[in-house]
Amino acid sequence: MLKSIVISLSIISVSALIPILHFVTFPLSPFIAGYFGIQFAQVRKDKYASKSILFGTCIGVLFLIPATFAGIIMMKVYGLGSHHGQIIAVMVLVAALYSGSMSTLGAMYSVLRRKED
């Protein structure tokens, strides 16, 4: 499971670093990361939902780390005051929830698709 999480986080990170193309790839990257990342985990067919939710939760929680650093850097670079801190904190939480839920959906879709084959 750890290997699949690392692969998924690297897919999300690489898609964020590609200039100009990141406007398209970054919003789709959590789903793609979940789809391909879960394939490296050992998921039994009868436990796919709980494993996919655990996988997405781990991605969401671990995505909080770089998102928090990005928020702090934004506050320092742009000289935003403390009154903007709450807005940035909400944006960081929404980004983490989005990445976790989309990774969960991608993982579930991948496992269900594998079950059909």
* pLDDT > 90 in the chain, percent: 38
Q: Where are the domains of the chain?
A: 2-116
Average pLDDT in the 60-81 region? 89
Average pLDDT in the 50-60 region? 91
Cα of first residue to Cα of last residue in the chain, in angstroms, is 22
Average pLDDT value for the chain: 87
**Residue 35 pLDDT:** 92
Task: Tell me the pLDDT tens digit for each residue of 73-87.
Answer: 988 898 887 788 889
Residue 55 and residue 4 in contact, taking contact as beta carbons nearer than 8 Å: yes
CA distance 11 to 51: 19
CA distance 19 to 5: 24
Residue 4 and residue 40 in contact, taking contact as beta carbons nearer than 8 Å: yes
Q: What is the pTM of this model?
A: 0.85
